[in-house]
Amino acid sequence: MKTHEEELESLAGRLRVRVAEGRYAEAQGVLREYCQALRKTVAGLPRGDPGRGRLGDEWRRLAEQTRRGLLAGRAHACARLARLAQVPKRLQTYGEDPPPRRTWECSA
């Protein structure tokens, strides 16, 4: 059986992968799982245990990595949208004339 800390590391890895792949809805679910596991782990530690501080530091690093990944993904999406907006209208409508009819379309 996994220890609590191994479970936290596994969940953190899953979260990093989901954010890196741009799968943000799934990342949100993994983040919830991570937070629940973190609460259980911290609740099981005695007061004054140095592990609490280390877990807090790891959580802050993971939160910052996740935030940066989300911001990078957002910037990338904005840049792609900006490039799409720069495509000339002529290319968007296939030139001046309407596109040719297909043989299965009615010519009524």
Residues 4, 37 contacting (CB under 8 angstroms): yes
User: How many Å apart are CA 7 and CA 34, to the nearest integer?
Assistant: 8
For 12, 15, 33, 40, 49, the CA distances from 4, given in Å and listed in that order, are 12, 16, 12, 8, 15
User: How many Å apart are CA 75 and CA 81, to the nearest integer?
Assistant: 10
Mention every residue, 6+ apart, whose C-beta is less than 8 A from residue 70.
19, 24
pLDDT tens string 37-87 = 999 999 999 999 999 999 999 999 999 999 999 999 999 988 888 888 777
pLDDT tens string 26-45 = 999 999 999 999 999 999 99
